């Protein structure tokens, strides 16, 4: 019955020279726009970038590359002239690292709240101000306890209103069902420059979409987080060369 009705309505629209799809009961779900972070592998994994107007999560243990990924988002967005914010609960942001990631620091608002509760309040205030393209909420390794139940829904509502991409960086998922996508970073190996004087060069990590409301979870990709090998200012993007990493080949989503 519903199908025939919608079919008839679609025919009617076509007669009126207004062809289109007809939905009964509710409008078609509107897919969020994406904010690319400039790392091809991650943008492909996320289906175009981090969702705008939604809360996303980026989790992982220390030295897994989650901070590098979050800074890459802030860097790419700020370079486009958009204003971004970093709510740094852990007080861990290293401005030199951010500058090295290519961020335009003039477009970055850095907020260091004294407590998790204040951090969420600050994030909400920034979202309510509007105009911020991306907000990274860095919770650090310590999970915020005793948050009220309505905290994350309020944050989600504010993000929807401001069309801001909110990325929560934490050791473990914290936003629950309010997060539209959850990316887990797992360290694979550490890269060292061997020789007479060994140097830390970076690490390889696997980024996995643990949970997603926009697509199939479980997709993953390999990322190389490396220092500048050339030193000429041109940076390599994360490379997930399948041939070199057969162990993750089957799971990489292109």
Partner 1 sequence: MRLACLYVPDFPLAALLRCYPELRESAVAVSEGSGPRAKLLAVSPAAARRGVRGALSVAQAMAIDADLVVRTVSSDMRRAAQAALCDVAASFSPRIEDSGDGIAYVDLEGLGSLFESESQLATAMAQRTVQLGIDAQVGVAGSKVAAWLAARQSGGVAVIPKGEEWSFLVPVPVSLLAPSPNLAATLQRWGIHTIGELAALPIHAVGTRLGPEGVLLVRRARGEDDVPLLPRPLPMNFEESVDLDYGVDNLEPFLFVLRGLLDRLTARLGLRGFLCGDLRLSLRLAGRGRDERTVTVTAPSNDVKALLMLVRLQLEAHPAIAAIEALRVVALPEKLRAAQLDLFRPNGPAPAQLAVTLARLTAICGADRVGEPIVADSHRPEAYGVKSFEAVTRLSGYAIRETTLTANRFIASRLCPCLRAIRPPQSIDVFCQRDHPDFIRGPGFAGRVVHAAGPWRLQGDWWNEGAYARDYYDVQLSDGGVYRVYREAIDRRWFVEGTYD
In the region spanning residues 207 to 246, those forming contacts with partner 1, defined by CB under 8 A, are: 223-228, 234-238
Backbone phi and psi for residue 13, each to the nearest 5 degrees, phi listed first: -60, -40
Q: CB neighbours of 19 closer than 8 A, spacing ≥ 6?
A: 10, 13
Cα distance between residue 35 and residue 110, in whole Å: 20
Nearest to 55 by CA among 170, 166, 209: 166
Could you tell me how many residues of this chain bind partner 1 (CB under 8 A)? 78
126 part of the interface to partner 1, by CB under 8 A: yes
Looking at beta carbons only, is 5 or 190 nearer to partner 1? Answer: 190
Looking at beta carbons only, is 6 or 144 nearer to partner 1? Answer: 144
Interface with partner 1 in residues 59-88 (CB under 8 A): 60-69, 71-72, 75-76, 79-83
53 part of the interface to partner 1, by CB under 8 A: no
Q: Which part of the chain contacts partner 1 (CB under 8 A), choosing from 8-16, 185-193, 211-219, 242-250? A: 185-193
Looking at beta carbons only, is 22 or 90 nearer to partner 1? Answer: 90
Interaction mask 151-170, partner 1, x per CB under 8 A: --------------------
Crossing angle of helices 116-129 and 151-162, rounded to 10°: 20
SS3 122: helix
129 part of the interface to partner 1, by CB under 8 A: yes
Which of 46-84 are b and which e, b meaning 16 or more Cβ less than 10 Å from the residue's Cβ?
bbebbbbbbbbbbbbeeebbbbbbbbbbbbbbbeeebbb
Q: Among 45, 46, 93, 181, which residue sits at the site for partner 1 (rule: CB under 8 A)?
A: 93
């Amino acid at each position: 019955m519903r199908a025939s009705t919608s079919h008839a309505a679609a025919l009617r629209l076509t007669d009126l020279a207004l062809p289109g799809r007809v939905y009964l009961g509710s409008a078609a779900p509107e897919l969020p726009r994406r904010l690319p972070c400039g790392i091809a592998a991650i943008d492909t994994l996320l289906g175009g970038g981090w969702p705008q107007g939604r809360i996303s999560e980026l989790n992982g243990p220390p030295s897994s590359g989650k901070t590098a990924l979050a800074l890459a988002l802030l860097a790419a967005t700020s370079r486009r002239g958009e204003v971004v914010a970093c709510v740094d609960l852990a007080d861990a942001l290293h401005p030199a690292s951010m500058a090295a990631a290519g961020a335009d620091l003039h477009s970055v608002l850095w907020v260091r709240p004294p407590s998790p509760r204040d951090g969420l309040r600050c994030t909400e205030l920034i979202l309510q101000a509007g105009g911020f393209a991306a907000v990274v909420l860095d919770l650090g390794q310590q999970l915020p306890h005793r948050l009220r139940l309505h905290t994350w829904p309020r944050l989600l509502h504010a993000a929807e209103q401001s069309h801001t991409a909110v990325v929560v960086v934490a050791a473990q998922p914290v936003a629950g069902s309010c997060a539209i996508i959850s990316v887990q970073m797992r360290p694979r190996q550490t890269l060292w420059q061997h020789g007479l004087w060994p140097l830390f060069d970076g690490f390889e990590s696997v980024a996995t979409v643990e949970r997603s409301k926009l697509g199939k979870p479980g997709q993953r990709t390999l990322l190389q987080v490396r220092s500048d090998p050339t030193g000429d200012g041109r940076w390599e993007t994360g490379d997930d060369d399948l041939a070199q990493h057969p162990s993750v080949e089957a799971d990489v989503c292109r």
